[in-house]
Amino acid sequence: MDSFNNEELKKHLKVLKELGFEEIILDKKFISKDEILKERKKLLEKINEEIQICEKCDLHKSRTNAVLGEGNIETRLMFVGEAPGEEEDKQGRPFVGRAGKLLTKLIERAGYKREEFYIANICKCRPPGNRTPTLDEMEKCFPYLKEQIEIINPKVLCLLGAVAGQAFLNRKVKITKERGTVIKWNDRILLLTYHPAYVLRNPKEEETLFKDIKRAIEIAYKGL
C-alpha cells in the first residue's frame, strides 16, 4: 500500500472493476499497526463521548464521570468488573479504589503490570451508594462494552464477580459455586472469578482470586 498514492490506487481499482471484480478483500498485513491502533483509539474515543452524555438509564443523574475503561488496546486479556465506585466516579478511571488496588497488586504478583491489560466494567456509571446495578441498567449499558470488546478484540475476558458473569451469560450466576469456570463465548474465552471487593471482605479468598487471574493470563498467552 505504501507504494501507491491515492490517484494510482483509484486507477488500479478502476481497472479491476472493468475486469469484473466487484469486491476487494484487503489483507490485514497491508494495514500498518499504527493505522489499526489509531482507528481503535478513535472508535473508543467515540464511545467515550457517547457515554459521557448517555441518559439511557437513571445512573446518569448522579454520576460525576462515566468510566469507559483503560489499558492496552492490543491486549489479549480484558478484566471486566461491575460498575464504578466512588473513587472511579471521581477520577473517571476503572478500579482505582480499594478493590482496584487489590486487583493491581494481584496482577503485579503474577509478574505483569495492569497497563498490559484492559480494564472495564459492565456499567459505565456509578450506582448510588455502590448498590448492585439493576438488570435494566446492565442491559442498557452492556452494548457499550460489547463494542469495546469488538474494537480491542481480546481473546480472554476475566469476569470479576457475579454481575459481570450474569451480563455475559444472561442468567444469574452463583460466583462462589462457579468461579474458576472457563466458558467459550462467541470466539472468546470467559473465565469467571471473584470480584476483588468480595475478596476484601473475605481475605482468605485472595489466593483463589490470584490463581484465577494467573490462569486467565496463561490462557490469554498460551491458550487453553
Residue ranges binding ligand URA (CB under 6 A): 81-85, 88, 94-95, 97, 99-100, 121, 197
CB of 175 to ligand URA, least distance (A): 13
Q: Which is nearer to ligand URA, 92 or 218 (CB)?
A: 92
Q: Give the shortest CB-43-to-ligand URA separation in angstroms.
A: 21
> CA–CA separation, 40 vs 86, rounded Å?
28
CB proximity list for 136: less than 8 A, separation 6 or greater: 57
Instruction: List beta partners, residue 184.
Output: 189
Q: 13 vs 128, which CB is nearer to ligand URA? A: 128
Percent helix, percent strand, percent coil in the chain, to nearest 5: 55, 10, 35
Cβ distance to ligand URA smaller for residue 154 or 161: 161
- Least distance (Å) from ligand URA to the CB of residue 122? 8
What nine digits make up the cell of 15?
481497472
Smallest separation (angstroms) from ligand URA to the CB of 119? 7
Nearer to ligand URA, 88 or 212 (CB): 88
Q: Smallest distance from the beta carbon of 169 to ligand URA, in angstroms? A: 17
Judged by CB, which is closer to ligand URA: 52, or 218? 52
CB of 95 to ligand URA, least distance (A): 4
Q: What angle do CA 208, 137, 60 make, to 5 degrees?
A: 110
Amino acid sitting at position 88: E
Nearest residue to the partner ligand URA, using Cβ = 81
Give the helix ranges, DSSP H, for the chain.
6-18, 33-52, 86-91, 98-109, 135-152, 162-169, 175-178, 196-201, 206-222
Q: Which residue, 171, 131, 163, 134, is CA-closest to 57?
A: 134
| Closer residue to ligand URA, CB minimum distance, 69 or 154 | 69
